[in-house]
Amino acid sequence: MGCDPCPGTQRLGSLHRLGCCIVRAARQYPSPFLPCFSASATCDSTQVVAPQAALWFVGVGLLGPCLGRLFNYMSVARLGAARATPLVNASPLFTTLLALVFLGEHITLKILLGMLCVVAGIAVLTGQRRA
């Protein structure tokens, strides 16, 4: 299906234009599961998602569903589902550390306790075979 490049996106390359095309296609075929796509059929996608925001979302896609999933599958292949899943699900530990550093969020007693529990859990899972 043909799709005109969205105005104002020439500098952002094909990924953002692809995002525009998907949004536009979704709006042309309204779905009951995606009410916000069909709610504003005349709205141009570039007016909804700013180019800078689109770049952040592309980064999210590359790190999460792309690399994150790949490493997750490699973990399950190596450790098994039962051991890999809790380790991969320890990601809020890193999110908290990143939020403390980059978003300037404050550490509370609950957060500190949570981080200690996660680290202890990782240590228990890791240490059992070496013991």
Q: Which of residues 8-47 bind another protein (CB under 8 A)?
A: 14-16, 18-19, 22-23, 26, 33-34, 36-37, 45
Separation CA 100–CA 94 (nearest Å): 10
Separation CA 50–CA 58 (nearest Å): 12
What is the amino acid identity at position 40? S
Query: 105 is written with which tokens?
Result: 């969020």
Q: Whole-number minimum distance, CB 61 to another protein, in Å?
A: 3
Within positions 41 to 100, which residues make up the interface with another protein, using CB under 8 A?
Answer: 45, 48-50, 52-72, 74-75, 78-99
CB-based contact 100:107 (threshold 8 Å): yes
Q: Whole-number minimum distance, CB 94 to another protein, in Å?
A: 3
Q: Whole-number minimum distance, CB 39 to another protein, in Å?
A: 11
> Which C-beta is closer to another protein: that of 41 or that of 63?
63
Asked whether position 119 contacts another protein by CB under 8 A, the answer is: yes
Compute the 3-state secondary structure of the chain and give helix, strand, coil in percent, each to the nearest 5.
75, 0, 25
Q: Whole-number minimum distance, CB 3 to another protein, in Å?
A: 13
Residues near 85 by beta carbon (within 8 Å), at least 6 away in sequence: 76
> Which C-beta is closer to another protein: that of 5 or that of 79?
79
